[in-house]
Chain A
Amino acid sequence: MRTEAKVGLGLLLTPLLLWLSLLIFIPHVDMFIVSLQERIGVGKYQTSLANYLTFFQEPLYLWTFLRTAVMSILATLMTLLIAFPVSYYIAKMVKGRLQSALFLMCLVPFWVSELVRTFGWMILLRETGIFSNLLQFVGLADGPVEMLYNDGAIMLGLVYTSMLFMVVPLVTTLESLPDEVIEAGYDLGGSGLSVLREIIIPHAMPGIVSGCIVVFMLSLGNYLTPTMLGGKESLWFTELIYSQFIVRFNWELGSAFGFMLLILSSAIVWGMLKLTGQSLEKTMG
């Protein structure tokens, strides 16, 4: 019986273990090995930390990473600010079919691919695009306005792309908050602001944290949106990795960049959790 149970457990775990080892662990080990190779001649390589040194010695790469991280954090905060009222409205203010309908409307844009959505934004924002023409039509602008190819466009795209991943965890946690608790807060003399601060946000914290982690990681790892909407000003870290691998044939440096992205982004998430006094266990529980 005991051995049978063990075999059963093993079988149940097999897909997960296969997934983890084949798709995550082994490729990373391989990438790590590649990142330690240094090209010293035609087809000749030696093991060294040269690629990691390049990352720290060339200010451009570090600067690009910082820029990417700061913009991702900003995008995460903006997504949270926009998504919180929306989620609260969906979870608490409306009921029944309207609730499902609104939730579905948040979901609908994600039925088309990210590429198509980004193209949509390009059509809206470009110089000969809809917004530009509208502004000229109502007389707010004299000539064509270029809204594409700048940091604002990247931010817009990032927030739009990640909205759903913030709304879903927020709605789930807010729904589990009983209405009576909020009412009791008001009965005890709380103002709207203090109820929000003392009751709603603490209750929604797990949702906020998990939403922020997902949105931050998605923004940091996004390639399409910054490249397409940012144009000549994009400069995103994933773009550097792509160009090292594909354009420069420099897999060694690209792998090192990939690893730095993994390490630094994990460090940022860990630091933010510590800074806000949260922990991953609390979020999961």
Chain B
Amino acid sequence: MKTHSFIVSAAVAAVVAGTSAASADTLRLLTWGGYAPEEVVAKFEAETGHTVEVTKSNNEEMIAKLRATRGGGFDLAQPSQDRIAGPQAEFGIYKPIDLSKIDASQFIPSMLEATKGNTTVDGEVYGVPHVWGTSGLVVDTAKASSVKDYTDLCNADVAGKVSYRLKRPTLIGFAYSMGLDPFAAYGDEAAYAEIMGKVEDKLIECKANVKTYWGGGDELMGLLRSGEVVASMAWDTGGWKLNADMADITFVAPEAGALGWIDTFVLPAKGKADDAAYAWINFVMQPEVAAMITAAAGNFTASQGADAYADDALKARYQASFPQEAIDNIKWYPPVPAGLEAIEGGVLDRVKAAN
């Protein structure tokens, strides 16, 4: 009798789990902090009747999560455009986007075309653009006026008051600052390894200057706010947010060029609510909604006409950090070929271990 009821309850549990996973109007969104503000989610739910479950993450975790489930567990994800073609070829975690279901007129055409090109694998498009921005330097201009480029973080006058991430943007930024061209070497593993070797030496030499390698945005904000760190590699929004409170601190586009990224929309291979996903994409690309996301995330979107609704203070900060020549000098990330991460990983491990 006991065994019997156990089997029955197990069966009931299985059925319940099965049906709840199959319900189609829940959009499980894997995104970055700030990309799905509560007011936007509420507006979307009221308009379409779908419900949205937001999971906040970052590039590496998004791909790791999707790889663990072979593309399941989420209906829409937002990795950067350079991290789509490689993982797709390697792990097959996304499914192609049906462009006919997307209102292309809502996108800035050049950005849409560039993203489509960078996320094409075997003739199929896997991503459309959403939010874009850059990473460069956030500097306390009163205390670290000498810092104008990535390698200036190694200057003696800011020793012990510098921070950056031990991740690939740092490698790329330092390489450009040293006069090398890592993006041009993407296709050639040997040349790329050589460039990374030079960057490794520089980063090891520079390690004594670093207070700590920051891991998350909040950690960095704390370090900059307290004055423990006066110059750091960071995202543009981080600098602008601090600038609102502390006039001396702002984002500086490095001389070697800020690194430009575009976060996209992709459909995970086993996503179950594609209609809700397309509805979300078309909903958030409306200029008014896109402006709400810009206000929350601090970054501009690929939505055509959203600039008109953006906050004037943010626009002023953007213009102060980016004169026209700095915009022209932005290095946009090309797609990362599969396998380059292993070279970078070795470099980062050795830098971390160096004394």
Residues 155-207 of B at the A interface (beta carbon under 8 Å): 160, 166-167, 207
In the bound complex, CA of A153 to CA of B216 (Å): 20
Query: Is A232 a contact partner of B215 (Cβ separation < 8 A)?
Result: no
Please give, as numbers and ranges, the residues of chain B lying within 8 Å of A149 by CB-CB distance.
211-212
Chain A residue numbers with a CB within 8 Å of B333 are none
Q: Does A265 interact with chain B (Cβ within 8 Å)?
A: no
Indicate if the CB atoms of B90 and A43 lie closer than 8 Å. Answer: yes
- Verify B60–A246 contact, CB threshold 8 A: yes
| CB of B67 within 8 Å of the partner chain | yes
Say yes or no: B227 contacts A128, CB within 8 Å.
Answer: yes
- How many residues on A have C-beta within 8 angstroms of the other chain's C-beta atoms? 29
Residues of A within 8 A of B211 (CB): 146, 149, 231-232
Give the shortest distance, in Å, between B6 (CB) and chain A (any CB): 8
A residues in contact with B226, CB < 8 Å:
126-128
B110 contacts chain A at the CB level, 8 A cutoff: no
Assess the B3–A243 pair: CB atoms within 8 A. Answer: no
Query: Beyond A43-B91, A43-B92, is A11–B3 a contact (Cβ under 8 Å)?
Result: yes
Contact A250 B352 (CB under 8 A): no
**Is B353 a contact partner of A64 (Cβ separation < 8 A)?**
yes
The listed residue (A42, A64, A232) touching B212 by CB distance below 8 A is A232
Judged by a CB distance under 8 angstroms, whether B320 is at the interface is no
CB within 8 Å of B: which A1-59 residues: 7, 11, 39, 42-43
Interface CB pairs A-B, < 8 A, 12? A7-B3, A43-B90, A60-B349, A63-B353, A128-B226, A148-B212, A231-B212, A245-B64, A247-B167, A247-B341, A249-B91, A251-B67
Which residues of A come within 8 Å of B, CB atoms?
7, 11, 39, 42-43, 60-61, 63-64, 126-128, 146, 148-149, 227, 231-232, 235, 240, 243-251
19 extra interchain contacts, Cβ-Cβ under 8 A, other than A240-B349, A243-B348, A246-B64? A11-B3, A43-B89, A43-B91, A43-B338, A60-B350, A61-B349, A128-B227, A146-B211, A148-B212, A149-B212, A232-B211, A235-B352, A244-B345, A247-B345, A247-B348, A248-B341, A249-B67, A249-B91, A250-B341
Q: List B residues at the A interface (Cβ < 8 Å).
A: 2-3, 60-61, 63-64, 67, 87, 89-92, 160, 166-167, 207, 210-213, 215, 226-228, 338-339, 341-342, 344-345, 348-350, 352-353
